[in-house]
């Protein structure tokens, strides 16, 4: 899909289709009004006849509209005038491109960036936000994963269907800003798309070795520095906890370290740590069979780190950012760790493994200790860590935990700005005793109560030396059921967070 920024009148555009917005009250957006005037009140007449009620994201396709240059007009509902929320704006954009998917309209002009959009605090979103969100929403809606299908959707007929050029219209005075926003939206889309692809790939292909290879490919294409640490080096570092999880698999573990150093030399980096379990069987504490295939998504934290690095590289973001990805498989095996085993982590703390299915924290804790050497300004880990987080928050918000309220606030704000939201959960001392062990310094599980909180408490034992936040993305990284597939979250949130940090420096 090609995007471009254009200025001009809606009725003059010679595209296959022109997309304009209408409200529930029958009021027209500025560009719908122009078409109405050029066509002798045709749009008003249609609305009067009741063929289109203007409800958010409803659509009506019109052919042969007299007095205008385009072949078709697509009316898109924007709800009540003045009340279009940011989420509804996204919905309207997506439904308009979906409505054209099965038509012959390839070359389309969209006039939705001109409408007012309000955020949760009733403040108007600016042109940059509207353009970037539009691009991200369109790419998100048009994403397909068919590399593993033997017959691709490439039958000739299919190729001619659907939009291949989208001209995003803005007023002339907004042209420069819109072009910047377009670039940023495209960069986020490409990071999201990478994260989705990695998540959706089957676990027999997307192994720890594959993830490391993908990271190494980004050295040339994106100017990153990448290092891959092998088992021997991890042993030398004393990563007994990470290696414990990895020992049940024939796939060798990898610790991938990415460096995007585009800030000032003395600027302390932000470190992103992503859980990269390429398949989680549960290990000896084997998971039940139902939906176990979805545990290929247990590397979505890692995928979001790789995706975010792709995005910030494309943006050339002036900030120092380090990525750390511990990646391995969690398999049952003669060599696998058992419930009752005690592991010694890189920090020196010993861990009693009471459940081998609580493996994410076991690989993350060593990566979090490794992060200390970068003297970070902040560390954010991203992990599909607990089923309990899905029970607590469902599939809309990622769980957010932090040892610093100001860091939590920054991430919450970035989530609101990118429409990739998180919700602040407690990390109180009162929960810590649930991790007491009779046989080691700490147990790897804390019982059923507050499972996502005790998982975060476990990680907090390894993050005392820096400002740290943890995003539990178990409910947000992928969708189940008919729409099964990776969402690419939280690449938008992380990018927004890093962008905001870069702007403050």
Active site residues: 287, 361
| Residue 208 binds ligand BES, judged by CB under 6 A | no
Beta-ladder partners of 469: 380, 402
Taking the CA of residue 475 as centre, how many other CA atoms within 13 Å lie in the half-sphere pointing to its CB?
Answer: 21
Which 3 state secondary structure label does DSSP give 258?
strand
* Stretch near ligand BES under the rule CB under 6 A, chosen from 133-141, 205-213, 354-362, 401-409: 354-362
Judged by CB under 5 A, which of 11, 86, 114, 357 binds Mn ion?
A: 357
Environment class of residue 34 by beta-carbon count within 10 Å: exposed (0-12), middle (13-18) or buried (19+)?
buried
Binder to ligand BES among 76, 108, 182, 388 (CB under 6 A)?
Answer: 388
Contact string 6-45 vs ligand BES (x = CB under 6 A): ----------------------------------------
Q: Which stretch binds ligand BES (CB under 6 A): 156-164, 249-257, 378-386, 459-467?
A: 378-386
Which of positions 260-289 make contact with ligand BES (CB under 6 A)? 280
298 counts as binding Zn ion under rule CB under 5 A: yes
- What is the 8-class DSSP label of residue 223? -
Contact of residue 46 among ligand BES, Zn ion, Mn ion, none (CB under 5-8 Å per partner type): none
Residue 426 phi, psi dihedral angles, 5° rounding = -75, 150
Give the C-alpha distances (Å, rounded to integers) separating 174 from 2, 7, 8, 84, 406.
20, 9, 12, 21, 34
Residues 57-76 contacting ligand BES, CB under 6 A? none
CB 134 within 8 A of CB 126: no
Closest to 356 (Cα-Cα) out of 284, 407, 298, 413: 284
Write down the least CB distance from residue 282 to Mn ion, Å. Answer: 6
Tokens of 414: 């970035």
Among 136, 167, 357, 410, binds ligand BES (CB under 6 A): 357
Cα separation, 123 vs 125, in Å, equals 6
Q: Which of 358, 378, 379, 380 binds ligand BES (CB under 6 A)?
A: 358
For the chain, state the CA radius of gyration: 25
Question: Contact 377/270 with Cβ under 8 angstroms?
Answer: yes
- 472 is a contact residue toward Zn ion (CB under 5 A): no
Q: Which does 269 bind (CB under 5 to 8 A by kind): Mn ion, ligand BES, Zn ion, none?
A: none
Is residue 360 at the binding interface for ligand BES, with CB under 6 A as the rule? yes
C-alpha distances (whole Å) from 98 to each of 47, 103, 302, 463, 471 are 21, 10, 30, 45, 32
The one segment of 359-367, 371-379, 397-405, 428-436 that binds Zn ion by CB under 5 A: 359-367
When binding is defined by CB under 6 A, the residue of 26, 238, 252, 387 that contacts ligand BES is 387
Indicate the residue whose CB is closest to Mn ion.
Answer: 357
Binding flag, residue 474, ligand BES (CB under 6 A): yes
Which residue, among 480, 476, 451, has the nearest Cα to 395 in the 3D structure?
476
Q: How far is the CB of 474 from Zn ion (least distance, A)?
A: 8
Task: Find where tokens 């040892």 sit.
Answer: 403
Q: How far is Cα 188 from Cα 193, in angstroms, rounded to an integer?
A: 8
Residue from 36, 280, 329, 366 touching Mn ion (CB under 5 A): that is 280
Q: Which is nearer to ligand BES, 310 or 489 (CB)?
A: 489
267 interacts with, out of Zn ion, Mn ion, ligand BES, none, CB within 5 to 8 A per kind: none
**Residue ranges binding Mn ion (CB under 5 A):** 280, 357, 359
**Residue ranges binding ligand BES (CB under 6 A):** 280, 298, 355, 357-360, 384-388, 390, 445, 451, 474
């Amino acid at each position: 899909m090609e995007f471009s920024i254009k200025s001009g009148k809606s009725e003059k555009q010679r595209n296959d289709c022109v997309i304009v917005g209408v409200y529930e009250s029958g009021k027209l957006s500025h560009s719908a009004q122009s078409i109405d005037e050029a066509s002798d009140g045709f749009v008003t007449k249609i609305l009067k006849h009741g063929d289109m009620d203007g409800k958010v994201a409803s659509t009506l396709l019109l052919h042969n509209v007299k007095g205008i240059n385009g072949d078709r007009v697509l009316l898109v509902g924007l709800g009540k005038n003045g009340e279009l929320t940011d989420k509804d704006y996204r919905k309207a954009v997506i439904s308009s491109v979906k409505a054209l998917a099965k038509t012959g309209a390839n070359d389309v002009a969209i006039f939705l960036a001109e409408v007012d959009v309000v955020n949760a605090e009733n403040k108007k979103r600016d042109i940059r936000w509207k353009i970037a969100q539009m691009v991200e929403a369109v790419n998100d809606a048009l994403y397909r994963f068919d590399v593993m299908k033997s017959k691709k959707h490439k039958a000739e007929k299919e190729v001619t269907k659907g939009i291949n050029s989208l001209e995003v219209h803005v007023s002339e005075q907004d042209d420069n800003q819109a072009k910047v926003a377009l670039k940023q939206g495209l960069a986020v889309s490409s990071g999201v798309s990478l994260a989705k692809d990695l998540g959706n790939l089957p676990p027999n292909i997307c192994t720890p070795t594959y993830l490391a290879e993908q990271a190494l490919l980004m050295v040339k294409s994106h100017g990153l520095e990448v290092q891959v640490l092998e088992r021997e080096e991890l042993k030398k570092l004393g990563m007994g906890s990470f290696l414990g999880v990895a020992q049940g698999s024939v796939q060798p573990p990898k610790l991938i370290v990415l460096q995007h150093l585009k800030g000032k030399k003395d600027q302390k980096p932000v470190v992103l740590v992503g859980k990269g379990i390429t398949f989680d069987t549960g290990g000896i504490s084997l998971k039940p069979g139902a939906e176990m295939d979805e545990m290929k998504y247990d590397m979505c934290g890692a995928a979001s780190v790789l995706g975010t690095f792709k995005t910030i590289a494309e943006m050339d973001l002036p900030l120092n950012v380090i990525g750390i990805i511990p990646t391995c498989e969690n398999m049952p095996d003669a060599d696998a760790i058992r419930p009752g085993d005690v592991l010694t982590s890189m920090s020196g703390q010993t861990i009693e493994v009471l459940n081998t299915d609580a493996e994410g924290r076991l690989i993350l804790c060593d990566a979090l200790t490794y992060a200390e050497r970068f003297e970070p300004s902040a560390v954010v880990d991203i992990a599909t860590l607990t089923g309990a987080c899905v029970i607590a928050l469902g599939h809309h918000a990622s769980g957010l935990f932090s040892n610093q309220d100001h860091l939590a606030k920054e991430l919450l704000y970035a989530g609101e700005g990118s429409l990739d939201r998180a919700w602040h959960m407690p990390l109180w001392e009162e929960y810590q005793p649930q991790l007491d062990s009779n046989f080691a310094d700490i147990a790897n599980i804390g019982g059923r109560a507050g499972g996502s909180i005790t998982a975060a408490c476990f990680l907090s034992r390894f993050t005392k030396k820096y400002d740290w936040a943890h995003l539990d993305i178990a409910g947000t990284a992928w969708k189940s059921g008919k729409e099964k597939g990776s969402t690419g979250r939280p690449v938008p949130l992380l990018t927004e967070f890093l962008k905001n940090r870069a702007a403050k420096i």
